[in-house]
A and B are shown apart, each in its own frame.
Chain A
Amino acid sequence: MAGPETDAQFHFTGIRKYFNSYTLTGRMNCVLATRGGIALLLYFKLGSKKTPAVKAT
């Protein structure tokens, strides 16, 4: 199981340091980014459905 002691063996640089599927932080950030992206998608999709009258003008 991954943990702080096993994360030390991975040496990523750049954006891979924060978004990877090996370290605990990387996995957490990937999960948060995916869910955040889906939430944003749903927000804009549902938001555009609610105001058709405003869109027409």
Chain B
Amino acid sequence: MNENLFASFAAPSMMGLPIVVLIVMFPSVLFPTPSRLINNRLISIQQWLIQLTSKQMLAIHNQKGRTWALMLMSLILFIGSTNLLGLLPHSFTPTTQLSMNLGMAIPLWAGTVITGFRYKTKVSLAHFLPQGTPLPLIPMLVVIETISLLIQPMALAVRLTANITAGHLLIHLIGGATLALINISVTTAFITFIILILLTILEFAVALIQAYVFTLLVSLYLHDNT
């Protein structure tokens, strides 16, 4: 049971060859490129959703921030679709791997910080000291603000990893408990099954919310630096 619980988080391979790259690339197949002025229903719905999301997400940004529109939309689509596909039984979820999430979080965060230092050096540096800080507290607050800046990419990555991993683990455990309880007490197994259904609904929400939170935080870091 213990070995099976974490087996789904291991990088999958087929006949000795790693197929993680194929799994990571798969969500792009679900978003076909629009090739006509008026497209089919799937593409039209996707376009409508992307327009809705991008309008809401880019409203706070200025001209410079809006150059990141493609990056932010790709990010939310990728994380959202990967998380949702991971809810299929026996599938592998790339966003449960900390390495992958760090690979997304660190370059994006670094990009926003470097953009800020490059175009608004004075404001970016002044950000590390809140206005009105008493004189004796200045050095300590500068150190604290620097640490809180450096923690941001770690928090981004770990938040996504932990939420998705925890959800998958819970589904595994409660699913296993339901199966085990069938032979012992059907009523208890039924109650556990109801809990499993509610948890699965929650995990659908968490999959989309985590994608939104990741992208929103990157967007906020960008807004602070543009």
Contact = CB atoms under 8 A, between A and B. Distances in A.
Interface of A: 2-3, 21-22, 24-25, 27-28, 30-32, 34-35, 37-38
A21 B125 contact: no
Contacts of A22: 131-132
Nearest to A24: B126
B90 interface: no
Contacts of B142: 30-31, 34-35
Interface of B: 122-123, 125-126, 128-135, 138-139, 142-143, 146
B149 to A, nearest CB: 11
A34 B133 CA distance: 14
Contacts of A31: 125-126, 128-129, 142
B122 A25 contact: yes
Instruction: Summarize A's interface: helix, strand, loop or mixed.
Output: helix
A34 B143 contact: yes
B220 to A, nearest CB: 14
Contact of A24 (B122, B133, B138, B143): B122
B129 A30 contact: yes
A27 B135 CA distance: 11
Contacts of A37: 139
B143 A27 contact: no
Nearest to A21: B133
A21 B134 CA distance: 7
Contacts of B123: 3, 24
A27 B142 CA distance: 10
Contact of A34 (B122, B135, B139): B139
A41 to B, nearest CB: 11
